[in-house]
Amino acid sequence: MRSCNHFLFFMKQGTLFLLILIVAIRFSAHGQAQMQQHPNLTITLDAQFINADVIYVGDVAFNLQDPLFSSRGPIFFFMTILSDQSTDVMFGVDIIAETEDTGEEVEIFTGITHPIRLEAHQPRNFSSRDLAEGGRLALYSSQSIDVNNATGAAKRIVDVVRATSRLPDGMYYLYVTAYIPGSTLEPYLPYEEIDQVVRQMRIVNPTRVELLYPMDGDRVVTQFPLFQWRSDTQETLLRVYEMPERMRSPEEAITGIPHLEKRVSTTNQFIYPQSGPGVRVLEPGKQYVWFVEALYTTSANREEGIISDLHVFSIIDTQGENLFNIIKQELERLLETNYQHIIERIEEGNFEFTDQIRLDGVPISSEDLLTVIQAIRAGEQNAVLRHVSIHQR
C-alpha cells in the first residue's frame, strides 16, 4: 500500500479553507494503480515521465521557488486521458523524490487544476507545459519546496540543486489523479477520484568511468583484445588509436583518425572485431591508445559524456620477441606489490624456460599464460592472485 497525501490551502474571499485529500492506491506487480470507476462514467488515464539520466533544473525550467512549469522548457511529463462520456475533470499532479542522500520521501511539487471539459470518446493530451501560466491546465492551487525555509530531507535536496543545478540521485515518482468536481464553483467540493496512475524514474547523475583491461602499459598477445571498463551509464563510446613511435604522448595520438570507434550499449566490454566497415587491424609490435566516453542524456534531450583516462597498450610480436622475457616482465608487474621476494628470485636468473606451462595440471601456451596474468591484474571476472611460491625440481 502506498499513500499520496495532498495538503492544499485555499483562500476564498478572505476565508481560509483547509482541504486534506488522502489518496490510497494499491499496486499490481507492475506498479500500476488499479482504476476506479464512477457510476456510468469511465476515464482512462495514462502518464509518462521524461526519459533522462540527468535532470537540470534549468533545462526543465522548473523553479523550486515557483510551482509553475515554463512553457518554453522541455516536457517534464505528459499524460493522455479518454472519457466515455462528456464531463468536467480536474487533475492532481504530485512529484515526489526519494533520494539516495535522504532515504525518505520529499514532495517536490503538488498541484491541482481547475476543471476542464472532456468530450465523450475524444482523447486529450497534456504535458507539464500546460501547467504554465496561461496554459491549457490552469492551476487552482499548487505548492513546491520552500527553498528558503526547507528543513531536513527537503533542505538536503535544495542544497544539491543549488550546488549542481541538478536534481539529486534517486527515485522520483509522478502521481496523476483524475477527479470529478462536485461543483462548477470554487472550491469545487466534493472531489471524487476516478482514476490515478503513478510512474517512476531513476536519476543517476553518472560520474564514474574506469578502464579495466587492457591496463596502461599492457602487452597484449592477441590482435583482437577484449576491452573492459566500468561506467554508471548504459551507453558507451569506445575509441582506439594507433600511437606511432614519433608521438610523444597519448593525447597527441588521439588527435588522428581512430582505428576503431564503436558505440556499445548495455554492456561494459567489447572484443576488437576481426573485420567490418571502418575497422583497421591492430598490428603486432605497435602501440595503441584506447579510452571510453560514458554517454548519458539530459532533460533537454542532449547527449553528454564523461571521458575516461587514456591507456596505452601494445600488441606482442610473438615472432620477433623472446616470450620468456615477456612473461618475466609481466610476472614482475603482477607481483611487484606483495611478492618482492619472488621477484628477487626471478631476477637472479637461475631459471630456464622449458616451454612447459601448466594451469591446474593442464598444459597451456605462453600466450594463454600472459592472458591469465593480465586478467588477474585487471580483476577480470573476479580473478584474484591468492598465493605465489617457487619450487625447485
Domain span at 321: 209-382
- The model's confidence at residue 244, banded by pLDDT at 50, 70 and 90, is very high
156 pLDDT more than 80: yes
C-alpha cell at 13: 474571499
Pair (263, 153) in one structural domain = no
Residue 319 counted as domain residue:
yes
The confidence score (pLDDT) of residue 393 equals 62
CA 343, 348, 354, 355 dihedral sign is: positive
* Mean pLDDT calculated for residue range 283-306: 93
- Which of 168, 183, 203 delimits the end of a domain? 203
Looking only at the bridges linking them, the beta strands covering 235-242 and 15-25 are: unpaired
Q: What is the pLDDT of residues 346-383, one digit of tens each?
A: 777 666 666 677 777 788 776 677 777 767 766 665 67
Same-domain pairing of 270 and 368: yes
Grid cell for residue 330 = 609481466
Bridge partners (DSSP) of residue 204 are none
Averaged pLDDT score across all residues of the chain:
80
For the cut 80, the answer to whether the pLDDT of residue 142 exceeds it is: yes
Grid cell listed for 5: 497525501
- The verdict on 216 and 239 lying in the same domain is yes
Tell me the mean pLDDT in the region 45-64.
80
390 located within any domain: no
393 within domain boundaries: no
Q: What is the pLDDT of residue 365?
A: 73
Q: Which of 203, 232, 248 is the last residue of a domain?
A: 203
Beta strand pairing call for 170-180 and 87-99: antiparallel
| Confidence band, pLDDT 50/70/90 cuts, at residue 22 | very low
CATH number at residue 296: 2.60.40.10
Helical residues (DSSP H) of 76-181, grouped into ranges: 152-164
> Distance of CA 114 to CAs 215, 336, 339, Å?
61, 72, 74
Residue 1 has pLDDT above 60, yes or no: no
Q: By the 8 A CB rule, do 118 and 83 touch?
A: yes
Residue 30: band (very low, low, confident or very high) from pLDDT cuts 50, 70, 90: very low
Kindly give, in sequence order, each residue whose CB lies less than 8 Å from that of residue 297, ignoring residues fewer than 6 positions away: 51, 52, 53, 54, 303, 304
Q: Are residues 213 and 176 in the same domain?
A: no
> Looking at residue 16, what is its pLDDT?
28
